[in-house]
Chains A and B, each alone.
Chain A
Amino acid sequence: MSKEKIAICPEFYDIMPPEYRDLVEQSTYGKEDRGWKDIGQSKELIEEHSLCAGCPESIAFRYILASLPNPEDTVMVGSTGCTSLVFPHVAVHNIHSLFGNQNAIASGLKRALSVRFPNRIKDVVVLAGDGATVDIGLDMTLQAWFRQEKFTTICFDNELYANTGGQESGLMQKGFVAKMAPVGKKFEKVNLPEIARESGCCYVVMCTVSKPNLVEKVIKNAIILAREVGPTYLQIYTPCILEIGKDSMEGLQEMRDSERPGERFKYKEYITDEAKKYLAELEASKKEALVAP
C-alpha cells in the first residue's frame, strides 16, 4: 500500500473523522527512519486503547507499531486476549480469528501474500499473549517454526491469563498462587526461547519494554530477518499490573526489577550465524549507500 491509497477525496475531506485526516496527513507510513521517537510527534498507528490505565502492554503496542519497518505493507495476526481489545484500534490490517491459531493463520496468510505479490515485501507479524502462544497454540507456534514459515512471532508474556481474570499459564513462575493454581503453580516457567532456538528460529529475544530503543531494534531485526532468513521469535514481558497487585504507575519499575542480572527477564538473545551475516551485510550496504555520490 502506498500513502495515496488512503488519500481522501477532496469533496469529502471536511466530513471525515479527524483521526482519519490525521492518518492521511501525519502518519509515518513510508517514512524510512520511523521509530519510537515518532510517538507524540506524528500520527501514531494506534488510537486510544481499552486496556487498564498504566498497562505495560499498551506501551509495548505503541513501541512495536512505531517500529514496524514497513507498516504500509504489514499485516498483523492476533489472538484472543487483552491484545484483541487493542487490535481494532490499529491502523494496519489485522486478523483476529480464534484463540491459539495465530501461527496457523499467519502461515496461510504469508503464503497467500507471497503468491499474490511475488515481487513485493509483505510483512506478517503475529502478536499474541502467552496463553495463546505457549499453551493452547503451542502446537501451531512450533509447527510454523519447524516449517520455516517466514514471519515474526511476538509473545506478550504477562505470565498468566489476564483477560479471563488471572489464571495459571505455562509461562507463569513456579510457585505463583493464582486462579487454577490454588496451592501455587507446580512446574517451572516454560522455556520457550530455548525451544524456539531448537525449533528453527534464526533470531530469538527475551526482553521487557523498559527501554524503547532496544524494543525498536529487536522489532526491526526480527521483521527484516523473517523476510529473508527464517522465523523469528520475541518474548516480551508485559506484566499484568492488575493481577500481580501493582498500581498504574508501577509497571515500568516491575519491568526494570525483572530484567536485572539473574532475574527471569534478563535480556537474552540468540541469533544464527546466517542471520548475523545478513544483518551485517544490510548494515554495510546502508553505509555504502550513504557514502555513494
Chain B
Amino acid sequence: MANELSEAQRSLIGTKNKKGQVYTDPYYLFNEAPRTTAFYTGSEVIKEAIRRASVDVMVAYPITPQSEAAALIGELYAEGYVADYMRGESEFAVMSQCAGAAFGGARVFTTTAGPGTMRAFENFPMWVGSRLPIQMIVTCRGINSPLSIQPDTLEMYFLLGTGMLIWHAETAQDFYDWILKAYIVAEQPDVHLPIAVCCDGFFVTHTKDTVSLTPPDMCLPPYDPYRSPVPCMDMEVPPVRMMRDPFVMKSNYISYLTHASWQEETRAACERSRKHTIPMIDGLIETENTDADILIVASGTAVSQGREAIRILEDEGIRCGLVKVKVLRPFPLEELREATKNAKYIFVPEFNVIGWLAQELKAALPDNHRIIDGPHVAGGMTMPAEVVVEEIKKTLGMTVATLAGRGS
C-alpha cells in the first residue's frame, strides 16, 4: 500500500498535523491499527471518518437525509479538523464550489441526496472530464413528485452514466471504512476521478449500528495535487498555452478525436480503479453459496434484506445464495458472470421503481431470462424479508401464505 503514496505523502508519515493527529500509512490504518467499537448513527459515522480523512474543504447544503452529516462536518471544521467549510447556495453551486476547490489542489468532501443530487447534475460529468477526485456521499432518497423525503435509490441510476466511481455501502461499517479508502483509490494518478460513496438514506444515516473505528489520533496522509494527470490550477506549474486552437466548436477530425479519446480515457481510468479497489475493499462483489440454484443479487440495504430472506428460506429447506454488489462503477462484469454462472434464478430486490440493478444485470449476464427484477419497493416503502421470500416462492410456483396487512 505504501507505494500508492507519492514521495511527498510518504515523507509526512509519522509526523503530526495541527490537531496532533499522526499521518498514518493507509495500509496500517485500515488493516493493523487498533480499533474501538462505537454505537453510532450513519451520520455520526460519516463525521468520524472525515475526522480522520485530512479533508481540506467541505461544502455543505441542507437536504434530508444528509443535513445532519453535513452539519456534523461543520463541527469538525469548528474544531480544526477540516481546513475550510462553507454552506453553498444550491447543489449546483455546491458541486461547482467543490470543483473550484479541487482545481486548486484541495482534498474535497461533500454530501448530497435525492432532488439535490439531480439539481447538481451538470457538474458530475465535468468533474470526471476535469479529473477532480472529489468524494461525494449520496444518502439516497426519493426524487419523485409528489414530494418525498423517504429512502429510494433512484438518483443512483442517473449517476451510473456520469463516469464517476460509484460504491454502494450496505452498513455503517462499510460506510466508515469506504469513506477513508475512497480517497486513496480516487486519488491514484492512473484513476484520479470523483467518487460517489452511496448509502440508503435513513436506513443507514438515521439508524444506530455498531461500528469499529480506527484511532482518532491517526489520519490519512494529505492529498498531493501534483500527482494529478492534469495540471493543478495553482500557478505552481508552467501555465503554457494549453492548445493552439480551442477544441470547442471546431468541426474537424482532430477536435472530434480529442474529445472522443478523452472520454474513452476517463472511462478507462474508471476501469483502472479496479486494481486499487479490489485489494482495498476485498473485491467489487462479495458472495455466499453461489453454487445454489437460487441467487439474490443486490446492493445497499437490499443486501441486508436479502440475507434475512435467505435465513427464512433456509428454515423452510430452500437453499439460496447471495451476491453483494459493492461497486457499480467500474461495473464488476466478470465477477458477476462468474458468481451467477450456476444460478437458475437470479432475484434482484431493489429500493427504486425502475430496477436499475436488474437492468444492468440483464445487459451483462448470459441467459438473462434467469433474472427476476424484483421485488421492488419505492417511495420510502420498506422491504420486509418476507416480501423477498414471497417473490422467490411465487416464481418457483410454491404456495405462499398471504402476508398480513396487505388487504387481501
Contact = CB atoms under 8 A, between A and B. Distances in A.
B123 A111 contact: no
Interface string A78-115: 00000011011111111101100100111111111111
Interface string B6-47: 000000000000000000000000000000000000000000
A85 B123 CA distance: 21
B126 A1 contact: no
From B89, B94, B97, name the one whose CB has the most chain A CB atoms within 10 angstroms: B97
Interface stretch (A69-77, A207-215, A258-266, A273-281): A69-77
A147 B59 CA distance: 14
Interface in B88-128: 88-90, 92-94, 96-106, 108, 122-123, 126
**How would you classify the secondary structure of chain B's contact residues: helix, strand, loop or mixed?**
loop
Contacts of A95: 100, 103, 233
B153 to A, nearest CB: 26
A75 B92 CA distance: 22
Contacts of B233: 75, 93-95, 109
A106 B235 contact: no
A140 B231 CA distance: 26
A211 to B, nearest CB: 28
A98 B123 contact: yes
A250 interface: no
Contact of A93 (B92, B100, B231): B231
A104 B57 CA distance: 14
Nearest to B246: A88
Contact of A97 (B99, B242, B245): B99
Contacts of A139: 89-90, 93
A197 interface: no
B100 A109 contact: yes
B70 to A, nearest CB: 16
B254 interface: no
A194 interface: no
B255 to A, nearest CB: 12
A114 B56 CA distance: 11
A117 B104 CA distance: 10
B240 A91 contact: yes
A6 interface: yes
Given A88-B243, A112-B105, A75 B234 contact: yes
B241 interface: yes
A176 interface: no
Nearest to B88: A104
B234 A113 contact: yes
B100 A108 contact: yes
A75 B103 CA distance: 10
Contacts of A94: 233
A139 B96 CA distance: 13
A109 B104 CA distance: 5
Contact of A74 (B130, B235, B237): B235
A73 B237 CA distance: 11
Contacts of A88: 241-243, 245-246
A85 B246 contact: yes
20 contacts: A1-B235, A50-B245, A74-B235, A75-B233, A88-B243, A91-B241, A92-B239, A95-B233, A97-B123, A104-B92, A105-B97, A108-B96, A108-B102, A108-B104, A111-B86, A111-B101, A112-B84, A112-B106, A115-B83, A140-B93
Given A1-B235, A115-B83, 9 more contacts: A5-B237, A84-B246, A85-B246, A97-B130, A101-B96, A104-B92, A107-B97, A108-B108, A143-B93
Interface of A: 1, 5-6, 19-20, 23, 47, 50, 72-75, 77, 84-85, 87-95, 97-98, 101, 104-117, 122, 139-140, 143, 147
Lowest 4 A-B CB distances belong to which pairs? A108-B100, A112-B104, A104-B96, A108-B101
